[in-house]
Amino acid sequence: MKKIVVFTGAGISAESGIKTFRDSNGLWEEFKIEDVATWKGWNKDRSKVIDFYNSCRRQLKNVQPNDAHKALAKLEEKYKVVVITQNVDDLHERGGSTNILHLHGELTKARSTMDPSLVYDIGYEDIKIGDKCDRGSQLRPHIVWFGEAVPMMEVASNMISDADIIIVVGTSMQVYPAANLIEYVSSNAEIYFIDPNAINNLNRKIKTIREKAGIAVPELVNVLLKNA
């Protein structure tokens, strides 16, 4: 059974109605990065940080996986599939995919400020000041903030290194360190890049599909399933 690794970014979730961070009218135009996505912001005003992610979590509760999420799950019928995502939502899970690695954390989880290994499933519930881990430390969003290490990068690079097919969806592949993952792809792997604004400057032979994920992903999945 061939192995497919799917690498997804904000574009795939945007089609479900989730506001992106970097695009025009994105979240970073409304909020300062340093206020809600850094340790400095957390130490300065924990309530502001918690409120920001609580708001994101409430929005997530009210959106649904789109045709791209659902189509990717169908690949598991005939392929070994790993989804590596930069997104912190749970739309891949709700779309039916079963093997998902979140590089930047998960909105539906909280973790200890003191001990990063203490992670709790909170679903779509708010985090409140005074909510503490088992060791008595305030819970924080289970999100990788700017300036923090991306702990799952080594795992992701190992996952991608032996893939037969790579599908990149809804990301510019310009944001590091995640963009480095392409360097671990086998020279024999087929690579598909799906994004309306896709620019291939990765010095690799890539099949570029400049279309929205909700249209292009189901079409590609149908082809791959037929050829399996």
Cis geometry, peptide bond prior to residue 177 (ω within 30 degrees of 0): yes
d(CA 59, CA 139): 20
d(CA 60, CA 65): 10
d(CA 60, CA 91): 9
Contacts of 110 (CB under 8 A, 6+ apart): 119, 120, 122, 127, 131, 139, 140, 141, 142
d(CA 195, CA 13): 12
Backbone dihedral angles phi then psi of residue 2, each to the nearest 5 degrees: -70, 155
d(CA 166, CA 223): 14
Q: Which of 69, 92, 102, 104 is catalytic?
A: 104
Cα–Cα distance list, 15 to 66, 98, 132, 214 (Å): 7, 21, 35, 7
Partner residues linked to 119 by β-bridges: 111
Other residues' Cβ atoms within 10 Å of the Cβ of residue 183: 12
CA 137 to chain centroid, in Å, comes to 27
Q: Is the Cβ–Cβ distance between 120 and 140 less than 8 Å? A: no
- Whether 104 is catalytic is yes
The residues carrying an active-site annotation are 104
